[in-house]
Amino acid sequence: MGQSQKPRRKYRPKDVRTPMLVGTDLVLRPLERIIERICIDGTTNVSRRGTPMFQNGSSEWFDTAEAIDGVILHLEMYSLRTGIAVPLDALRELHIAFKYAVPIFERTLDGVTAAMPVLRRIMSAADPDVMIDILRQTQIKIELDKKAERERIAA
């Protein structure tokens, strides 16, 4: 009678992903706000214990040094994987300043300000699958480092 029909696959919508341009803004905009505030009045938000903190777009508070370290780690992995040079020196200096509560020099702020458009361009043009994979690797590494630190302290 008729041709045999293939069984139909059940419809499954594709995962909706944030475009890289938006994802880049979600990651870098809080950092840019921190830099802007330091340039305007020389201050940053801190916790009751004096830890530098920042608020993301969802109004959640995070440790500034840890967040910057995560961005650096992510971009270092991206650079290693793709061979694309990523300007991270000034961001590393900023991380050290926040982590150890030392003064942030004007040259550091100038360097980070100059690097931001380059970081935006690199992240916005990146392959989303690569960035998601690196994000997972970064999250795993951070958690393993935290575990190792807790074990070191407990020993």
- Tell me if 52 sits within 8 A of 45, measured CB to CB: yes
pLDDT, one tens digit per residue, over 93-127 is 999 999 999 999 999 999 999 999 999 999 999 99
35 in any annotated domain:
yes
- Tell me if 96 sits within 8 A of 66, measured CB to CB: no
122 vs 18, higher pLDDT: 122
pLDDT, one tens digit per residue, over 138-152 is 999 889 998 999 999
103 in any annotated domain:
yes
44 in any annotated domain:
no
11 in any annotated domain:
no
> Has residue 23 got a pLDDT over 90?
no
> Has residue 12 got a pLDDT over 90?
no
Domain count of the chain?
1
Domain containing 34: what range?
A: 20-39+53-154
Nearest to 123 by CA among 85, 89, 75, 91: 75
> Has residue 2 got a pLDDT over 60?
no
- Tell me if 45 sits within 8 A of 53, measured CB to CB: yes
Q: What is the pLDDT of residue 4?
A: 64
For 57, other C-beta atoms within 10 Å of its C-beta total: 10
12 in any annotated domain:
no
133 in any annotated domain:
yes
How many residues are given for the chain? 155
Contacts 24+ apart (CB under 8 A), 41-50: 44/98, 50/101
Task: Estimate to the nearest angstrom the gap between the alpha carbon of 77 and the chain centroid.
Answer: 12
Distance CA 63, CA 47 (A): 9
- The pair of three-digit structure tokens given for residue 10, joined into one six-digit string: 């059940």
For 91, other C-beta atoms within 10 Å of its C-beta total: 22
pTM for this prediction: 0.82
DSSP assignment letter at 103 = P
31 in any annotated domain:
yes
Mean pLDDT of the chain: 90
